[in-house]
Amino acid sequence: MSLRVDLVEGAAIAVRSLAVHRLRTLLTTLGIGIGVATLLAILGITQGLDSSFEKQLATLGSSSVFVSRQPWVQLGNWWEFRNRKNITLAQIEAVRAQCVLCETVIPMVDDSADVAFLGSELSQVVVSGAAEDWPKVNGFEVALGRFFSQPDDDNRRLVAVLGADVADTLFPEGTNPIGHTIRVGKKPFTVVGTLARKGKLLDSSQDLRVVIPLGTFTSFFAGRRSFTIGVMVKNPEQLDALEDELVGILRRVRKTPPDKPDDFAINRPEQLASTYQQLTGALYGVALGIGFITLLVGGIGIMNIMLVSVRERTREIGVRRALGARKRTIIVQFMLEAMVVSAVGGALGTVVGLGGAKLVSLVTPLAATVKPLTVVFGVLFAALVGLLFGIWPAARAANLDPVEALRQE
């Protein structure tokens, strides 16, 4: 009961004191607010980047793996990867014939070319040579028209399916591209379909592409090249087992000696996530460190202001102690005062920080996500800072000798 009374009375006295010293309260609130705003702006941007990257990875599909000569992320000896043997169509056929856990196995290959329609032209568009199951393995959907069929591939027909960026750039809004003839490099292709928009992956557009039948691709893009094997597993829970099976098949068909490492790479979306965490972990740590230092400075400002307040109100404290106020009552009053001003600063800093993060996401490519728990965290964390940095001033006020305090003018 007495503690509740101390809390109620202490809160009332703290609020009155803050109202009387408006300028001091404003400056203290500003200090902690800047710290919270800095911290939450950083948190908002980092959470947004993480969320954006997770969505980008989800576009790769959770049931597919991609076997290529080189890994997606090369952190080792790039010369070793460059000198590996090509993956051939014969090896892909062997995988299709021998793989038990595979639902779909397709060859894939990419190059780049200029693409044009009438007066519109795009440079360095990705041209993908693929089989009819390419959309399923790569997580694409057909938006208009159709994807090409096996007869299109067998007969090397000049048909193309456009990515969303290519379709939007070459054809005016409201124009149906199906049936129109575009130029890929110097060859005419009839558009038979368009792909649904998929977005960016690691700041590279997945929609700036044209997909043509594999047989057509090999006719027009000369040279010995390595293929990528797109594999979809029957059961997503068997991805690890599928990887082991693919390693065994490929080592056998590529005649890799037992004492040599794999001369191919099995790429999965999780590997990109792991690399992303490694690359951004240190950056996030530095950014959050800056935010915490700023908040620490704000906390020190609260402590200094509270010490000044104790010194100015020494006589008041002496009077209250002489009239029977206990040490606990004084401690509660000053700690509540520190927490209130810190929480108000935290609330304002939360609004400013998350607003700043959102503004950054609007004017730059950086993403920002505002989560409800982040708002609650900002206010509560600011109040905790006020509590911690208010302990010493509160203890100093409570331990003043009443007789000496009453002598102060």
Top mean-pLDDT range of 5-9, 49-53, 181-185:
181-185
Confidence at residue 2, expressed as pLDDT on a 0 to 100 scale: 55
Yes or no: say if 346 and 382 are a contact pair by the CB < 8 Å rule.
yes
Measured between alpha carbons, how far is 173 from 44 in angstroms, rounded to an integer?
35
**What one-letter code names the amino acid at 31?**
G
* Residue 330 scores a pLDDT above 90: no
Helix (H, G, I), strand (E, B) or coil at 347: helix
Digit-coded pLDDT (tens) for 173-214: 878 999 999 999 889 999 999 999 987 776 678 889 999 999
Q: What residue has token string 């400056």?
A: 27
Digit-coded pLDDT (tens) for 378-388: 777 777 877 78
Digit-coded pLDDT (tens) for 385-407: 777 887 887 788 777 766 665 66
Domain boundaries, the chain: 2-56+274-407, 85-263
The mean-pLDDT minimum among 80-84, 174-178, 275-279, 380-384 falls in 275-279
Confidence at residue 1, expressed as pLDDT on a 0 to 100 scale: 44
Yes or no: say if 199 and 245 are a contact pair by the CB < 8 Å rule.
no
Which of the four pLDDT bands, split at 50, 70 and 90, describes residue 128? very high
Helix (H, G, I), strand (E, B) or coil at 187: strand
**What one-letter code names the amino acid at 238?**
Q
| Buried-state track 1-29, b at ≥16 Cβ within 10 A, e below 16 | eeeeebeeebbebbeebbeebeebbeebb
| Buried-state track 197-236, b at ≥16 Cβ within 10 A, e below 16 | bbeebeeebbbbbbbbbbbbbbebbeeebebbbbbbbeee
Measured between alpha carbons, how far is 14 from 16 in angstroms, rounded to an integer?
5
Percent of the chain with pLDDT over 90: 20
CA angle 170, 175, 181 (to 5 degrees): 55
Confidence at residue 203, expressed as pLDDT on a 0 to 100 scale: 67
Digit-coded pLDDT (tens) for 341-379: 777 777 787 777 777 777 767 766 666 666 677 677 777
Which of the four pLDDT bands, split at 50, 70 and 90, describes residue 60? low
- The beta-strand segments (E) located in 96-136 are 102-117, 120-130
Yes or no: say if 88 and 171 are a contact pair by the CB < 8 Å rule.
no
